[in-house]
Structure 1
């Protein structure tokens, strides 16, 4: 039987993930919209946003960054060798260690919550302090659940099973949406006044959010069992696996450490500006950007990762270069489309979020500049994965870390340059613009560093034929975005419904135009990537 071409494998996996992710991201956007309407941007929302960030950052620093890029190449080596018992033993040991370590960290987080909250600007104020501590203690339960999610997701993706990991966040969103609706009903309009919001409503919000994380992780046990993966409590990893895991984990941890530092710095700078609702508004803007990122970028890069890892493990360097270059062209073009769409639709998006309790002043500026950062962010994600698949772990770690380190430093500079006086004068729009511009500039630094490392380590064929097509896409979609910004309506002139309609219109026009350009520019690549499998099937 003929083996399915690698690029076709990537395309098939990307298509599966794109369809699943589209549904999930729509649910995610509905979730954020429900949060905006039922929780708001001030009062309870500020305590909730700050407390919810802490376990996410801790998880990424302690385990998420180490495991996200390590599991697929580590487990793929066992699949290629046909050593499925070693596969099961390895994933069992990693799961055991991950859950136990994160559970212990969760206990420490719950105990230390009062001291941690004191370090966070604004929510350390007396009116928000007690509520933030309560949220943080409940959210500490989420840590081991996140660990289960990332380990099982890695196991499934290594076996090229993408549907369940892609759909699991949708189950989580459904649980959290129901939580927000119930909280809003119980709060009865008191969300902005922490002193009078019912305690029962707060408990529903805290524990319902945690139940959403359980829905993200525990259902993955179903496809894991169906895939024949045998999980048993186990502590021992082989010496070879320990070395490989340490190598890959170090690369992932370096990037994620600086990424989470940048996330925390952003929260601190926005809260320190003293503008009520600035950080929740930033989160809502990022939620919109992540819909585009998740639907357009993540499926291609995630589907490429195990396929490229198998190609490298099988020493098929020509196929690796071919598939890597094709994936890069797809990522670059699609990222430009996403970026220009966000720039065009920024004002209508803010209008759509007009139902938010407390308002979302400055959201359009955050959406536009964060949209621009989609291009370097997508390149960073993909090029980092290419280097990991080629076992260039140090280069991947350094390149990814450089982008987030630059972003964090520039956000600090933006906060210092703006200052409290400048933030007060310019309002939320000014501080959000500064932070978004700084983040975008930092990601550009990362893309330059990673691109240079890929070119030096893997050669210039990875970039062959990329730039002319990208410039064409930029010219067409950029022109449309500029026309939308110059001639389109402002957020203040739009209602919630018309904001949604204008956003959909801009996305449709730019998407259709971009699809035509991409089809003309890389029609040969499209034919290769959509090539179907003549016979046989993928398998170890």
Structure 2
């Protein structure tokens, strides 16, 4: 895949991804405005996160990793792949429906598993609200699976945009729900939230996922794949065999995330017991994590999703050298955005969250910024790791990559519990951000070492030098603006929302322009490629 082709394919998805992330961010802001950042918000976020965790744990990771390469192969079948796709969709749908029923029945046990300290005496209300939210949100599992399967069918047929655009509808539905509640009920707290409000928030969130999935049905029909109920596992043996190791990979990853949820909610409960009113638990972590993912999502996911079907074809053709080149090219291209983004999030985290999270107190917003700065340290390694994992998937090797995720999660879990026991409860969530970053930085080198069995020795120097110049350009361009913000104490100054937004725009706009000029002066060739990527996005937007 040439650069121009990659830019065009990525540009299609980037438009959808950008709008998806913008609407998703508005959704997150409204959620914080309605529920705050303390224990009530944690009950909702734990419940709303659980369907994603269970879905990925049992099915989702296998679908994403295995479906596209196997579909590409099935196109050479006599029926053009229709039977393979139909049998897989039917089989997985049945598994997901069963999973929903079991989850709803055992919702109290799930809440005890993910947020054990909600069962602490004095927090019975939080526990009951979390159980109710969980039961309303768990049906999302089925529709998440349907969305993924239909989206992967479209991707395998070369239609990338729908998978990026459908979440916008999801976000818009939930935005309407939260906005309606915000307009009709200004203050919702643990002691005042009604059963109707819990139902509206829970079912409204699930409705967004339902809409997201169903709008892909006509897209798949237009792709030429005719799905119909087909029972049986004929031809699926290899897919489920490959999925076995993928499930191990996802299991390890989700167990690590379980620890994150456990530690964050434990910190929130302990802080509440100590009389700390600032939200310091799971909600600040997820809020910061969402911001950290914005640059990663818009560029990394767009490029990687466009690249995966092509990598699969190259791997099938045993063109190993071209696979290696494509991976390096993607890493270098993504670094143009992720490296300066990581520096900006590190330096300006509290300044960003003070302006963005206007629905909560400044202390709550600043705390999210501290967590964001901690997470930013791992952004680049996290993005590169995703690209390299797609290299394993292209070769249908779901076993080797397990070693990497095991090491990443061992480090993360060990540091998370260490911070829970050694840090003050109000700083534990910041520690979780540091644990995330350290684990992915170490894990990156493990992943690089493991991938050489497929693509030969992947020299870090092939992208490290370029990333070093990007880092230098970022620091030269951004540190002066950081010094200005620190000198005038902008991150801690009690001022109006309008003034905070103006300051943030000045800092980000000025440092962004300075970074581009410095990167160009340091002869980073991918800067021109970034312009090509942006041009393709704008051209696509005009056509649409």
Give your verdict on TM over 0.5: yes
2: CA distance, partners of 1:434 / 1:327: 31
Distance 1:301-1:506 versus aligned 2 partners, 3 A rule: farther
2: CA distance, partners of 1:526 / 1:43: 45
Partner of residue 44, structure 1: 40
Distance 1:337-1:38 versus aligned 2 partners, 3 A rule: same
Deviation at 1:174, TM superposition (A): 0.4
Out of 144, 147, 151, the residue aligned to residue 146 of structure 1 is 144
Partner of residue 85, structure 2: 91
Deviation at 1:246, TM superposition (A): 2.1
2:276 aligned with 1:275: no
Out of 126, 129, 145, the residue aligned to residue 128 of structure 1 is 126
Deviation at 1:411, TM superposition (A): 1.4
2:234 aligned with 1:252: no
Deviation at 1:54, TM superposition (A): 1.7
Deviation at 1:499, TM superposition (A): 3.4
Partner of residue 538, structure 1: none
Partner of residue 112, structure 1: 106
2:286 aligned with 1:292: no
Which 5+ residue runs of structure 1 have no aligned equivalent? 533-540
Q: How does 1:330-345 map to 2 (within 5 A)?
A: 330-345=333-348
2:28 aligned with 1:32: yes
Deviation at 1:90, TM superposition (A): 1.6
Distance 1:84-1:464 versus aligned 2 partners, 3 A rule: farther
Distance 1:222-1:298 versus aligned 2 partners, 3 A rule: same
Distance 1:504-1:293 versus aligned 2 partners, 3 A rule: farther
Partner of residue 475, structure 1: 472
2:17 aligned with 1:16: no
2: CA distance, partners of 1:155 / 1:96: 14
CA contact (8 A) 1:352 1:495 kept: no
2: CA distance, partners of 1:69 / 1:6: 23
Partner of residue 465, structure 1: 462
The DSSP-based 3-state class of the residue aligned with 2:452 is helix
2: CA distance, partners of 1:261 / 1:133: 20
Out of 191, 197, 222, the residue aligned to residue 195 of structure 1 is 191
Out of 402, 407, 413, the residue aligned to residue 412 of structure 2 is 407
- Residues 325-360 of structure 1: CA deviation (Å, up to 9, x unaligned): 211211233321221121232122221245334634
Distance 1:37-1:106 versus aligned 2 partners, 3 A rule: same
- Residues 388-428 of structure 1: CA deviation (Å, up to 9, x unaligned): 1133332223223432332233212221222xxx22xxx3x
Deviation at 1:467, TM superposition (A): 1.9
Deviation at 1:320, TM superposition (A): 2.5
1: CA distance, partners of 2:156 / 2:466: 32
Q: How does 1:438-449 map to 2 (within 5 A)?
A: 438-449=435-446
Q: How does 1:337-376 map to 2 (within 5 A)?
A: 337-357=340-360, 359-376=364-381
**TM-score, structure 2 normalization:** 0.88
Q: Out of 153-162 and 330-339, give the one that drifted further.
A: 330-339
CA contact (8 A) 1:39 1:180 kept: no
Distance 1:243-1:127 versus aligned 2 partners, 3 A rule: same
Partner of residue 66, structure 1: 62
Distance 1:527-1:478 versus aligned 2 partners, 3 A rule: closer
Deviation at 1:167, TM superposition (A): 0.7
Q: Out of 507-516 and 369-378, give the one that drifted further.
A: 507-516
CA contact (8 A) 1:168 1:217 kept: yes
Deviation at 1:308, TM superposition (A): 0.9
2: CA distance, partners of 1:126 / 1:51: 16
CA contact (8 A) 2:420 2:428 kept: yes
Partner of residue 167, structure 1: 165
The alignment covers a number of residue pairs equal to 514
2:317 aligned with 1:320: no
Partner of residue 491, structure 1: 491
2: CA distance, partners of 1:407 / 1:527: 33
Deviation at 1:472, TM superposition (A): 0.5
Deviation at 1:379, TM superposition (A): 1.0
- Residues 187-210 of structure 1: CA deviation (Å, up to 9, x unaligned): 331x12x23223222211111001
Distance 1:254-1:483 versus aligned 2 partners, 3 A rule: farther
Deviation at 1:104, TM superposition (A): 1.0
Deviation at 1:432, TM superposition (A): 2.3
Q: Out of 199-208 and 481-490, give the one that drifted further.
A: 481-490
CA contact (8 A) 2:481 2:510 kept: no
Deviation at 1:490, TM superposition (A): 3.8
CA contact (8 A) 1:72 1:154 kept: yes
The DSSP-based 3-state class of the residue aligned with 1:521 is coil
Deviation at 1:6, TM superposition (A): 4.6
Q: How does 1:517-532 map to 2 (within 5 A)?
A: 520-522=523-525, 526=529
